[in-house]
Structure 1
Amino acid sequence: MASSDHLLDLIQSRPDIYGLLRASFGFDIERKEYGAGLGLASGAPLEPIAGDFTGGAYFLCTEQGGRRPVVFASSEGEGGLIADDLAGALEIIVGLQWRDCLGFSGGGDVEVMLASAQHLERYLARDSPEIAEARARVAAALSLRVLPVPDLVIRLQEAASRTEPHYVVVTDDGDVYDPPFGEFSEPQLGGWR
């Protein structure tokens, strides 16, 4: 398993991979400023490592058992744990439309997340047929595993379920971010078509 620093260095040294991560997967290592003013309710520090085009931020947490867990905080005030280390987080980020999967999770129900992921993947394959090639290129360049979507959904659900109490995101002013799971099981207008 590659260390977080090694993976971040690899991304920085490969403009093609950096470009794919930024454009296709919303992981931009040049947008670290998006995480300013955020921490964990436990008082543990967060290290911003990337942002996405919506204003969300990815953070590394303090090392635990040789790993540095990864937390995401959205610009809409939701946040939580997404993986136990950066390699695991990147596998989820690259292999799954993870934010929408959490958003349409029925409050964290893994079966609802699996159904949402199937719909999301179908739409993605239709609208972005090049996504499979982009996923394979990033995975090969960073020595990531290419896992089936159901496995990624289960890993994401398990990590996000462990957000409380240690990975709750807070602002400098003490405002607490909402948990990562959305209450809806499908889009409100029209459902999954």
Structure 2
Amino acid sequence: MDSSDHLLDLIESRPDIYGLLRASFEFDVERKGCGVGLRLASGAPLEPIAGDFTGGAYFLCPEEGGRRAVVFASSEGEGGLIADDLADALEIIVGLQWRDCLSFSGAGDPEVMLASAQQLEGYLTRDNPEVAEERARVAAALSLRVLPAPDLVTRLHKAAARTDYVVATDDGDVYGPLFGEYPEPRHGGWR
């Protein structure tokens, strides 16, 4: 059993952790049906492991160097690498509002991503004052690290910028990158 399988088994065996991952961090292991018919552009298969509330899907890639990278594919046609293994991916998923951080990245500028992450964290803590405690509970249960936003943004940027994990459909249509072009929401900016 590799470390990804161990983490997934641990999540499924802990209803409290599964519930937090699903409700607070949009990582739902029961939504494995999202993203059917996707693979890497190289032809390598993808193993669905979870989905989010919007129809996006998380996948494990084939093992390489003892690790299984994690890619995400949105229902809007963006996809790519988010981490080199599931533990790293979960640290990002739990530690950041990572999808919005990428969406408001100014086409992949790490400084814009960090500014977005800080703005998004303010909104999240206002809407969910218990998020720090929830992060700590998930991290402790899954032996993950709780890292500061700058470290997570750096790791996420490095992963999403890689071009060797392009998501494609079985028909050969290629997904766009995870980076969005805008530095902040278009209508009203960060408020």
The alignment's TM-score, normalised by the length of structure 1, stands at: 0.97
- Secondary structure, in 3 states, of the residue corresponding to 2:188? coil
Partner of 1:172: 170
User: Secondary structure of the residue that 2:44 maps to in structure 1?
Assistant: coil
**One-letter code aligned to 1:179:** P
The aligned residue for residue 38 of structure 2 is 38
Structure 2: gaps of 5 or more residues: none
Flag structure 1 segments of 5+ consecutive residues without an equivalent. Answer: none
- Residues 76-95 of structure 1 aligned to structure 2 (within 5 Å): 76-95=76-95
Matches for 1:23-172 after TM superposition, within 5 Å: 23-162=23-162, 164=163, 166-172=164-170
Distance (whole Å) between structure 2 residues aligned to residue 37 and residue 52 of structure 1:
17
Q: Distance in 2 between matches of 1:133 and 1:30?
A: 24
Instruction: Supply the AA of the counterpart residue of 1:115.
Output: A
Report the 3-state secondary structure (helix = DSSP H, G, I; strand = E; otherwise coil) of the residue aligned with 2:59.
strand
- Kindly provide the amino acid, as one letter, of the partner of residue 183 in structure 1: E
User: Shift in Å at residue 35 of structure 1?
Assistant: 2.0
The Cα of 1:86 is off from its aligned counterpart by: 0.1
CA distance in 2, matches of 1:5, 1:124: 30
Following TM superposition, by how much is the alpha carbon of 1:95 offset from its aligned partner in structure 2, in angstroms?
0.4
**Helix, strand or coil: the match of 1:116?**
helix
Once residues 47 and 142 of structure 2 are traced to their aligned partners in structure 1, the CA distance between those partners, rounded to angstroms, is 21
Q: Secondary structure at the match of 1:34?
A: coil
1:152 Cα deviation after fit: 0.3
Give the paired residue count: 190
Q: CA deviation at 1:174?
A: 1.3
Partner AA of 1:178 in structure 2: G
Deviations 1:124-170 (A, max 9, x none): 111110111111100000000010011000000000011x1x21111
Q: Distance in 1 between matches of 2:25 and 2:86?
A: 15
CA offset digits 1:105-125 (Å, max 9, x no partner) = 001000000100010001111
Letter of the 1:175 counterpart: D
Amino acid of the structure 1 residue aligned with 2:155: R
Matches of 2:131 and 2:50, distance apart in 1: 21
Q: TM-score, normalised by structure 2?
A: 0.98
Counterpart of 2:166, as a letter, is V
Give 1:173 deviation, angstroms.
1.4
**Residue 187 of structure 1: aligned partner:** 185
Residue identity opposite 2:187 in structure 1: L
